Structure 1
Amino acid sequence: EKKIRSFSTSVLTKTYIIALTLVAVSSIAAYVTMHQLTITQETSAAIVNTSGRQRMLSQKSALYSTRLATSTDEKEQKKYRKELTNALLLFEKSHESLTRIDSYLNIFGDPSEKIDKIYYGPPNYLDRRLKTYKEEIIALMSTEKEDLSADNPHLKKILASAPKILDSLDLAVSQYQAESEAKITLHETLEMVFLSATLLILLLLALFIYRPIVKRIENETDKLNEANLKLLQLSAVDGLTGISNRRAFEEFFEMQWRRATREEKPVSAIMIDIDFFKNYNDAYGHLKGDDCLKSVTSAIRRSLNRPADMVARYGGEEFIILLGDTDVDGAMNVAKIVKTIVEDLKIRNKKSEISDYVTVSAGVATTIPKPADKRADLIEAADNALYKAKHAGRNRIKKAKVSRLRQYRLR
């Protein structure tokens, strides 16, 4: 059984470690996917924005080129040359960002085949057209003042190529958007897959690992509780007679005392002693003495009819009975029954000075406890009554009426 339990525990432990590893891997993968999704979204926005800016700069360059060629004001021409210079710088930077690896835009890797075809392949040849477009603008900016006009050949080439460039840029923007959306969809799908896998593994953990572990813990806890209960019972039971010991009696007595105080009901104690038991032991030996104690215990137990009544071995050959909600007359009646049943056992005692058989003496005490009273005084009263019974010749019962504890009188 130990080997099976050890094997089962080992399997559960290994399975648990594997499952946790899978959860960790799946969670990390989900996190990485979410991170990549965020990067893709940011990159897509940057690419689309840059593509749109490139288109706007193309239009702006065509407009400034027209104004430069048609203006006759030298200051305005200077202004348009400056605007064209700035536009070309931004245009070149945008073009480089879109066609090459650019860490600023988080573009890691070459453009796709479709993007590459738009820029470098037929029928668009966008890269070539943009370079030619830029060269024509630079040539226009270098043209002398007297050669600038609406019929300038550089301006005509610029205006002729501008629509085709805009169409190609629109195509590039659309392609960038489509590819970005595809990447975002892929990352979202992967994210859902990894999150679903994590949840599935956690569910399997709960069903096939956590549940058996919890069940085993519950079983072991139940066994431990049973063992503790047995130990508690053993610690509360007299080993020889099988009835409650003094420790258990004190705990039960405290509970009954509080209840009697709260409900203002009587509680009675009967202290019982086997007459001349030392002489019996000396005459018959300790084994016979133990048998005698067991027989007397059985007789006392038979005299109690209510589950709430308790008998305990108080020490040596002394026993004590606690009777809740019982007045002095009821307690005296129980004591008489005990005395009679013990006599009926007919256990011979040749060393007894009062009878040929084993007899008992008893002291009875009853009180209705008040909050200020001490329960030890009830035991003392019963013990004193027992002393009076033994002093009066044994094999008899004496009772003490307790008006106020510590103040009792014999009847």
Structure 2
Amino acid sequence: MKIRSLLKLTNTYFLALSLIALLTLAIFITMHQVILTQRDSAYLINLSGSQRWLSQKASLLSIELVYSKNPAEQNLLRHNLLQIVDQIQSNNQLLLKGTPDKPQHLSPMMKSLYFNSPLNSETHLQRFTSEALALAKEPSLSLTPNNPHFTYVLQNNETLLENFVSIVNQYQTESEAKIQRLQLLNSASGAIILLTITFLGVYIFRPLTNTLVAEKIQLEKTNQELSLLSSMDGLTGIANRRQFDQSLAQLWSLASRKTEPIALIICDIDFFKAYNDHYGHLQGDECLKKVASGLKESLKRQGDLLARYGGEEFVVILPNTDIDGAAKVAEVLRADIEGLEIPHLFSSVSPRITVSAGVACLYASSTSSPEHLIEAADQALYQAKQTGRNRIVLANGLAIPQT
């Protein structure tokens, strides 16, 4: 997937997460509002219910005041009635206006109950409290069953109670409706979150996961290709010096556990500088490719490793091979390269390309190292060059007869 598409998916992912965060915040606020609504509703309903009790209490005190003949008792009843009236008026102000830090906003229906006919609860309440207040201030001689203030309180108490019942019911109805709306909003927010999560899974997470998996596979493939390229010689296509060093170290460590032999063959194209000088470097590169291909085809075992050691030198690692086996392989390689019959008119040993090789073998152990093996094979190669080229020399100085 292109980088632009991946960025688009990522941006959509963050937008979706932002939406989820906002909706979660909305749900939290909604639930908080539900709690506040329930609390405020309970407060208003309790306050309205308290008004019912207080109005009944005012009626009872009015009756006791009228029929009491004890002046001291009358004074106490007057005092209690004044307190009840004051409490009724205070509660009424809270129901209508609230407090400065928490004002009350009446709905149109509540305003109608309080101020409009036929209920007009506010007018009834004000008249009731004013009549009860006037009764409490009447002199003792005027406290008779025919007192007009007393008559009004008794006759209108039931009407006032019915008004309070209507107000309580309306507060409860509005509270339930508001809570229902908030719960509906809460459910809608939850449903949108679920849909958003589903959208994330289907249209973002799955494509994003597939993209990441595809990118991982491509990256692993690229890394393998890069690793392969870093371990191959760019000209000949065989292992390079780096791969040779790593493979020899690994094979040496493995062989040292069982004290197995490892053989090494270092080959050098005879008089390759003269070949390059007269045929040109392009032809020289072609020669190196043909020699590398010929050496590779001559190796029969899968575990043997051919690498370009540097310039016109090639090296072969032969795991678990003694000196005799390595000598036979080296002679096959030499003969097969000569058999390619690549023309080399400027060679001092043959009119075609030939190689010289040094062969060494050591038993891998903790007291020896791959460097010892390389040094022994290199010394044998030097002797092969010094003694005429186009030949195989073992590390013990023995030259292998040509077949």
TM-score class, shorter-chain normalisation, is 0.7 to 0.9
Aligned to 1:92: 89
Among candidates 357, 362, 368, match of residue 352 of structure 2: 357
Paired residues, number: 398
Q: Matches of 2:378 and 2:166 in 1, distance apart?
A: 111
Partner of residue 33 from structure 1, selected from 30, 43, 65: 30
Return the offset for 1:345. Answer: 1.3
Distance 1:222 1:322 in 2: 33
Q: Does the 8 Å contact 1:101/1:107 carry over to 2?
A: yes
Task: Sort the Cα spacing of 1:105 and 1:54 in 2 relative to 1 into closer, same or farther, 3 A.
Answer: farther
Tell me, in whole angstroms, the C-alpha distance in 2 between the residues paired with 1:372 and 1:61: 114
Name whichever of 346-355 and 268-277 sits farther off: 346-355
Q: How does 1:105-120 map to 2 (within 5 A)?
A: 107-108=104-105, 110-113=106-109, 115-120=110-115
2:260–2:363 contact (8 Å) kept in structure 1:
yes
Q: Which amino acid aligns with 1:40?
A: T
The 1:124–1:231 alpha-carbon spacing in structure 2 relative to 1, beyond 3 Å, is same
Q: CA deviation at 1:221?
A: 5.2
Aligned partner (choices 193, 197, 212) of residue 192 of structure 2: 197
Q: Of residues 397, 400, 406 in structure 1, which corresponds to 2:392? A: 397
The equivalent of 2:401 in structure 1 is none
For 1:383, the aligned partner's letter is D
**CA positional deviation for 1:338:** 1.2
Residues 141-198 of structure 1, C-alpha deviation per residue, up to 9 Å, x if partnerless? 1012344466655334323322332232123212211221111011101111122123
Cα distance in structure 1, aligned partners of 2:87 and 2:254: 95
Q: Which residue in the other structure is 1:295 paired with?
A: 290
Q: What is the identity percentage for the equivalent residue pairs of Structure 1 and Structure 2? A: 39
Cα distance change on mapping 1:227 and 1:10 into 2, 3 Å? closer
Distance 1:145 1:255 in 2: 121
- Answer whether contact 1:265 1:325 (CA < 8 A) is retained: yes
Q: Name 2:165's counterpart in structure 1.
A: 170
Query: TM (normalized to structure 1)?
Result: 0.82
Give the 3-state SS of the residue equivalent to 1:270 in structure 2: strand
* One of 125, 131, 134 as aligned partner of 1:130: 125
Worse-superposed segment, 23-32 or 205-214: 23-32
Cα deviation 1:233-277 (Å, max 9, x = unaligned): 333322221112112222333333333334544333221112222
CA distance in 2: counterparts of 1:372 and 1:74, whole angstroms: 126
**Residues 138, 213 of structure 1: alpha-carbon distance in 2 compared, 3 angstrom cutoff:** same
Residues 119 and 127 in structure 1, CA contact (< 8 A), matched pair in contact too: yes
- Report SS of the residue matched to 2:317: strand
State the one-letter code of the partner of 1:111.
S
Given that 1:244 and 1:313 are in contact with CA atoms closer than 8 Å, whether structure 2 keeps it comes out as: yes
Alpha-carbon shift at residue 305 of structure 1 (Å): 2.8
Amino acid at match of 1:43: D
Task: Provide the residue aligned with 2:56 in structure 1.
Answer: 59
Does the CA contact (< 8 Å) of 1:276 and 1:352 recur in 2?
yes
**Counterpart residue number, 1:406:** none
Question: Are the equivalent residues in 2 in contact too, given 1:97–1:105 (CA < 8 A)?
Answer: no
SS where residue 185 of structure 2 aligns?
A: helix
Report what 1:154 is aligned to: 149
Label 1:368 to 1:10 Cα distance change in 2 as closer, same or farther (>3 A).
closer
Q: Report the equivalent of 1:276.
A: 271
Which residue in the other structure is 1:403 paired with?
A: none
Whether 2:136 is the aligned partner of 1:141: answer yes
1: CA distance, partners of 2:73 / 2:310: 124
1:43–1:107: 8 Å Cα contact kept in structure 2?
Answer: no
SS class of match (1:394): coil
Segments of 5+ residues of structure 2 without an aligned counterpart are 399-403
Partner of 1:379: 374
Correspondence for 2:245 among 235, 239, 250: 250
Q: Which runs of 5+ in 1 are unaligned?
A: 401-408
SS of equivalent residue, structure 1 residue 239: coil
**1:405 corresponds to which residue?**
none
Letter in 1 for 2:346: K
3-state SS of 1:353 partner: coil
- 1:285-364 to 2 correspondence within 5 Å? 285-364=280-359
2:135 maps to amino acid: L
Aligned residues: CA RMSD? 3.3
**8 A Cα contact 1:46 1:105, kept in partner:** no
TM-score (norm 2): 0.84
How far apart are the structure 2 equivalents of 1:363 and 1:80? 131
Q: Is the alpha carbon distance of 1:49 and 1:328 closer, same or farther for their aligned partners in structure 2, counting shifts above 3 Å?
A: farther
Q: 1:139 to 1:301 in 2, by over 3 A?
A: same
Q: CA deviation at 1:313?
A: 0.6
The Cα of 1:33 is off from its aligned counterpart by 3.4
Instruction: Specify the code of the residue in structure 2 equivalent to 1:61.
Output: A
| Partner in structure 2 of residue 182 of structure 1 | 177
